[in-house]
């Protein structure tokens, strides 16, 4: 083994592979990241109005939740194949499929988050003269953030993992390398791409956790203590408002 | 849309359904793989989850396993197993991958179901002098049943999906119709295969929803006893997704 190239002996772990193909690895990672980002961003943009519609009209809620559940059941390979005639061989196939998958969890979590907003907070905002739009963006969505972010994290992690299947049409990011490695029995390539993919999922999850903590500073110390304090502060603010 | 029509005529062609590459054979492989792997995964995951849920330990494990299952790409695991020494042993890489991805939903749901069995009912049963075994069999399992079945259903759908992907590294099943279509750039065949796979997944999902309803022990109990109306809604199907503490 000594001195022999790990590329020739087809080892699982091969520093030489990472060195010589770093450009290929970077390109695949970049493609993986932008497919994931585009899918999750579009998913969020589509899920929010759907959730609001489902909340506004109960008639809409059933079909929306039902349809997104049905979509979630369709295996990824079939999903991409079914979208192929509509978009041809392009990244749009993969992104559309991933958006459809993301809706299931995003719509549900946004709904759950909005349902958890205390009625008093809504009443208070209305009393302060908030219109429906300002109420939504100024009060309801911020309070729904923990649930929304939890859904976003789940969606992002599974999107990173499902993107690999896009390799079937050549738009799978790191999945492309896994696919090529499978065809040529190139162990180092498959293992490196797989590990990078898992690392990508973990990094994305941690980043979103960080974003969530930045956006919800009131929840940072977490747990009952913070809630008790918030309640006390609220009470104090209310009494202050009354005496003023 | 021309391709839809072509896909339909692909499906309507009798010769596509028979023979070693035919739909019936591939469907048989798919169902066989699904059933075998589902049984193996249930045999592994359910006893562990029930035992952990009963003693109330290992909650972090149940959650972490399901998070890990989500982060690790199925496709990567399938290919890694194919290239490993196991790869030369026929269906084994596929079976192992299928079981690996079926275990997390089974474990998590069954564990949560056992933990969420109404504590007051469990305490009452304990006070009546039930032993641990009786408690599991007569109280916790019936109460956890809806969530356990939800886990089995998710696992079944997961297995069907993973078995489809197994066609990429050359496993059997309906996915082969799709991959063969890609190889020959026959879009009609790709779409036809995808329709079959999607239909199978939805059918399996529907089948398990039906089974869940038919087999629910609390449903039958509710029909017979008069106290059914007063029963606390602990046995009701899973609540909304676990939402972390809303602030304030």
- Residue ranges covered by each domain of chain A: 21-243
**pLDDT grade, residue B149 (50/70/90)?**
very high
Residue ranges in chain A modelled with pLDDT below 70: 1-4, 220-244
Choose from A78, A168, A175 for mutation: most chain B CBs within 10 A: A78
pLDDT of residue A81: 93
Choose from A47, A55, A74 for mutation: most chain B CBs within 10 A: A74
pLDDT of residue A161: 94
Distance CA A149, CA A130 (A): 25
Average pLDDT over residues B118-143: 87
pLDDT greater at residue B85 or residue B202: B202
Find tokens 């089995």 and name the residue.
B152
pLDDT of residue B4: 83
- Cβ atoms of A151 and A182 closer than 8 Å: no
Nearest beta carbon to residue B244 from set A105, A146, A168 = A146
Given an 8 Å threshold on Cβ–Cβ distance, is A117 in contact with B246? Answer: yes
Which residues of B fall within a CB distance of 8 Å from A162? 73
- Cβ atoms of A218 and A230 closer than 8 Å: yes
pLDDT of residue A225: 53
pLDDT greater at residue B14 or residue B94: B94
For chain A, say whether B179 makes contact (Cβ under 8 Å). yes
Residues 6+ apart with CB under 8 A from B84: B93
- What DSSP element (H or E) covers A21? none
For the question of an ipTM over 0.90, the answer is no
Asked whether residue B75 carries a pLDDT value surpassing 50, the answer given is yes
Residues 6+ apart with CB under 8 A from B164: A75, A77, A78, B30, B173, B174, B175, B178, B197
How far B129 CA sits from the closest chain A CA (Å)?
Answer: 35
∠ CA B152-B203-A96, rounded to 5°? 95
For chain A, say whether B73 makes contact (Cβ under 8 Å). yes
Given an 8 Å threshold on Cβ–Cβ distance, is A78 in contact with B76? Answer: no
Nearest beta carbon to residue B187 from set A85, A187, A231 = A85
Scored b (16 or more CB within 10 A) or e, A132-163 reads: eeebbeebbbbbbbbbbbbbbbbbbbbbbbbb
What is the 8-class DSSP label of residue A12? S
**Domains recognised in chain B with CATH numbers:** 35-223 (1.10.3720.10)
Average pLDDT over residues B171-182: 88
CA nearest to A220 within chain B? B247
pLDDT of residue B91: 82
Lowest mean pLDDT among A192-201, B10-19, B73-82: B10-19
For A65-109, the pLDDT digits (tens) are 889 888 989 999 999 999 999 998 999 999 999 999 999 999 999
From residue B229, how far is each of B212, B218, B223 by CA, in Å?
21, 12, 10
pLDDT of residue A16: 84
∠ CA A65-B150-B105, rounded to 5°? 105
Query: Residue A127 in 3-state DSSP?
Result: helix
Lowest mean pLDDT among A73-82, A217-226, B9-18, B202-211: A217-226
Find tokens 């969020």 and name the residue.
A44
Q: Which CATH class is domain A21-243?
A: mainly alpha
For B134-145, the pLDDT digits (tens) are 888 888 888 899
Distance spanning both ends of chain A, measured CA to CA = 83
- Cβ atoms of A43 and A72 closer than 8 Å: no
pLDDT of residue A110: 95
Longest dimension (CA), chain B: 70
Given an 8 Å threshold on Cβ–Cβ distance, is B243 in contact with A146? Answer: yes
- Cβ atoms of B144 and B110 closer than 8 Å: yes
**pLDDT grade, residue B245 (50/70/90)?**
very low
């Amino acid at each position: 083994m000594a001195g022999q190239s790990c590329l020739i002996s087809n080892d699982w772990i091969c520093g030489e592979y990472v060195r010589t193909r770093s450009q290929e690895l970077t390109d695949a990672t970049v493609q993986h990241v932008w497919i994931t980002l585009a899918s999750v961003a579009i998913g969020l943009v589509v899920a929010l109005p759907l959730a609001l519609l489902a909340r506004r009209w109960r008639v809409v809620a059933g079909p929306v939740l039902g349809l997104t559940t049905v979509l979630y059941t369709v295996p990824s390979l079939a999903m991409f194949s079914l979208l192929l005639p509509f978009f041809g061989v392009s990244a749009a196939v993969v992104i559309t499929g991933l958006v459809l998958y993301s809706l299931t969890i995003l719509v549900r979590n946004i709904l759950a988050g909005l349902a958890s907003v205390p009625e008093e907070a809504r009443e208070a905002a209305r009393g302060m003269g908030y219109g429906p739009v300002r109420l939504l963006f100024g009060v309801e969505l911020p309070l729904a953030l923990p649930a929304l972010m939890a859904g976003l994290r789940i969606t992002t992690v599974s999107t990173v993992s499902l993107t690999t299947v896009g390799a079937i049409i050549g738009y799978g990011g790191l999945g492309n390398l896994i696919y090529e490695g499978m065809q040529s029995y190139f162990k180092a390539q498959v293992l490196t791409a797989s590990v990078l993919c898992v690392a990508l999922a973990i990094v994305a999850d941690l980043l979103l956790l960080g974003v969530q903590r930045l956006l919800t500073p009131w929840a940072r110390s977490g747990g009952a203590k913070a809630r008790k304090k918030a309640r006390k502060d609220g009470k104090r603010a209310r009494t202050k408002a009354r005496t003023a | 849309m021309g391709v839809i029509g072509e896909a339909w005529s692909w499906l309507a062609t009798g010769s596509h359904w028979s023979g070693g590459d035919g739909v019936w054979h591939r469907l048989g492989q798919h169902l066989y793989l699904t059933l075998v792997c589902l049984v193996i995964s249930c045999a592994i995951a359910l006893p562990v989850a029930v035992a952990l849920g009963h003693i109330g330990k290992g909650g972090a494990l149940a959650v972490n396993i399901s998070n890990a299952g989500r982060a690790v790409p199925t496709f990567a695991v399938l290919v890694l197993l194919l290239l490993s020494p196991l790869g030369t042993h026929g269906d084994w890489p596929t079976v192992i991958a299928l079981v690996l991805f079926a275990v997390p939903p089974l474990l998590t749901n069954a564990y949560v179901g056992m933990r969420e069995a109404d504590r007051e009912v469990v305490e009452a049963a304990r006070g009546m002098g039930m032993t641990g075994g009786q408690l599991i069999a007569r109280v916790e399992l019936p109460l956890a049943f809806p969530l356990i079945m939800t886990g089995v259903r998710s696992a079944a759908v997961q297995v069907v999906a993973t078995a489809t992907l197994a066609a990429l590294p050359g496993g059997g099943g309906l996915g082969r119709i799709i991959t063969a279509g890609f190889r020959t750039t026959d879009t009609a065949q790709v779409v036809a295969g995808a329709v079959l796979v999607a239909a199978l997944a939805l059918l399996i999902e529907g089948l398990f929803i039906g089974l869940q309803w038919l087999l629910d022990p609390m449903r039958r109990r509710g029909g017979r006893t008069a106290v059914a109306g007063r029963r606390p809604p602990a046995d009701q199907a899973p609540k909304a997704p676990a939402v972390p503490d809303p602030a304030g």
